[in-house]
Amino acid sequence: MLFHNTYGVDMGNDTIKISDRDERKFLMERNVIAIRDQTHVIAVGQKAFEMYEKTPVNVEATCPMAGGVIADTQNMEIVLWKFLKKCAAFRMRHPQIYFAVPNNISEVEKRAYFSTLKGRIKAKKVFLVEKGIADAVGMELPIEEQRGSMVINIGAQTTEISVICGGKIILSKTLKIGGKSMDEAIATMVRRNFNLSIGMKTAEVLKNNLAYLLEGEEKEMRVWGVNTLSGLPREAAIPASAVSFALLEILEEITTNIKSVVERTPPQILQDIKRSGIYLTGGVSLIPNIADFIRLEIETRVYPVQYPIFSTIRGLLKIMNEPKKYRKYTYSLKDLTGKMM
């Protein structure tokens, strides 16, 4: 096995992270592609993201993923190829790829990951790892022991709730809500309360700079948008309290679903979780006091992990470096269909 040509890939709706086995090459870019006249790729990654909401009519900047899975195989292949080339330099020949994928996806959605690597990239082998497992391994949780753990990953477009025991995900739930849903809620609030239409990028900036839960610094940020009454550009000061209040409905939906998973968890495993607490990861976990908010709602200790944006890719790195130890947590195209890739 050519370890030096092995890469872990964590593809999210917001960012894509790629690392080689030795961590000598690491890339984190926006998962966006900009296409002119539906045929010509003019940018990928951060450059494409900068064009988002600013493109002329004949240019479209989009993410090739939706709801945590690949929605556009052709464009996802282009993005992956360009980023892998950046990471791999001259060692791009028939790489081995480990993908982190959502827990509850269909066979068709799983096949899409393999399809992205058939053309330009020509991967030698492709392995899929459930995101709940990758997160737990990245956090160094004792997943092989007969001790229950719960991991919650709140990402850009999905929230993954995983209960792990004895090396298996015994319960999981994937919600199609996350950071992007919060951006939409903020944009809606600004339009209703301030008669100002803003884009998703501006809403994301407001979330990242102002949002808090329970208690936080009461500050404000001035943003530009379009006056919904006059149609003219206008600036408005948006307070942190308004931004934070806009997130509550989404967070309450997340906590309601966490409760439903807790209620379905076998008593002995639930006892372990109550004792050790719940682990919170994903980019949204960076919102101040979110762990305390969830703790109060579900009456169980919640611990935000130290590096929430990187827990999944760190788990993939461990799995890549010890393939024999973690083989049972990966599956290939052969495991799905009986055919090798």
Same domain assignment for residues 28 and 123: yes
pLDDT of residue 38: 86
- Tens digits of per-residue pLDDT, 56-114? 889 999 999 998 899 999 999 999 999 998 887 645 677 899 999 998 888 899 999 98
Same domain assignment for residues 36 and 63: yes
138 domain-assigned: no
Comparing 25 with 211, which gets the higher pLDDT? Answer: 211
Same domain assignment for residues 69 and 162: no
95 domain-assigned: yes
Which SS3 state, helix, strand or coil, does residue 195 take?
Answer: coil
Same domain assignment for residues 159 and 285: yes
Give the largest Cα separation in the chain, rounded.
Answer: 64
Q: Where is mean pLDDT largest: 7-11, 216-220, 328-332?
A: 7-11
Alpha carbon 65 to its chain's center: 11
Same domain assignment for residues 279 and 152: yes
Same domain assignment for residues 164 and 202: yes
pLDDT over 70, % of the chain: 96
Q: pLDDT band for position 54 (50/70/90)?
A: confident
pLDDT of residue 90: 47
Q: pLDDT band for position 119 (50/70/90)?
A: confident
Same domain assignment for residues 81 and 195: no
Which SS3 state, helix, strand or coil, does residue 314 take?
Answer: helix
Domain range for residue 328?
Answer: 3-133+311-337
Q: pLDDT band for position 120 (50/70/90)?
A: confident
Q: pLDDT band for position 2 (50/70/90)?
A: very low
Q: pLDDT band for position 208 (50/70/90)?
A: very high
323 domain-assigned: yes
Same domain assignment for residues 233 and 199: yes
Domain count, the chain: 2
pLDDT of residue 89: 60
> Could you tell me if 223 and 205 are in contact, meaning their C-beta atoms sit under 8 angstroms apart?
yes
CB-count exposure of residue 90 (10 Å: 0-12, 13-18, 19+): exposed
pLDDT over 90, % of the chain: 78
Average model confidence (pLDDT) across the chain: 92
| Upper half-sphere CA count for residue 231 (Cβ side, 13 Å) | 0
Quickly count helices (H) and strands (E) in the chain: 12, 19
- Tens digits of per-residue pLDDT, 163-197? 999 989 999 999 999 999 999 999 999 999 999 99
pLDDT of residue 216: 86
pLDDT at 339 over 60: no
Query: 184: domain CATH number?
Result: 3.30.420.40
- Tens digits of per-residue pLDDT, 250-298? 999 999 999 999 999 999 999 999 999 999 999 999 999 999 999 999 9
Q: Element (H or E) spanning 101, and its range?
A: strand 96-101
Same domain assignment for residues 291 and 317: no
Q: How far is CA 171 from CA 177, 213, 246, 301, in A?
A: 19, 28, 30, 19
